[in-house]
Amino acid sequence: MSTRNAIISHLRTKRLTATELAEQLDVTRNAVIVPLRQLEAEGIIEGVERKAKRVGKPALEYQIRPGKEDLQSKAYPPFAETLMQVASEQLSCNQIESLLREVGRKLAEEVNVNPDLRTSDRLKAATTYLDKLGAGTSVERCENGSVLRSFSCPLGRAVRQESCVCKVVETFLSDVTGVRVDEQCSRGEKLECKFLIDV
| Distance, CA of 25 to CA of 3 (rounded, Å) | 8
Name, in order, each residue with C-beta under 8 angstroms of 13's C-beta and a sequence gap of 6 or more. Answer: none
How many CB atoms lie under 10 A from the CB of residue 164?
A: 19
| Distance, CA of 119 to CA of 163 (rounded, Å) | 28
**Cβ–Cβ < 8 Å for 97, 104:** no
Confidence of residue 90 (pLDDT cuts 50, 70, 90): very high
Give pLDDT, residue 55: 60
Q: What is the pLDDT of residues 124-182, one digit of tens each?
A: 999 999 998 889 999 999 888 899 999 888 888 888 888 889 999 999 999 999 999 99
Confidence of residue 111 (pLDDT cuts 50, 70, 90): very high
Q: What is the pLDDT of residues 43-84, one digit of tens each?
A: 899 998 877 666 666 688 999 998 888 877 788 888 888 888
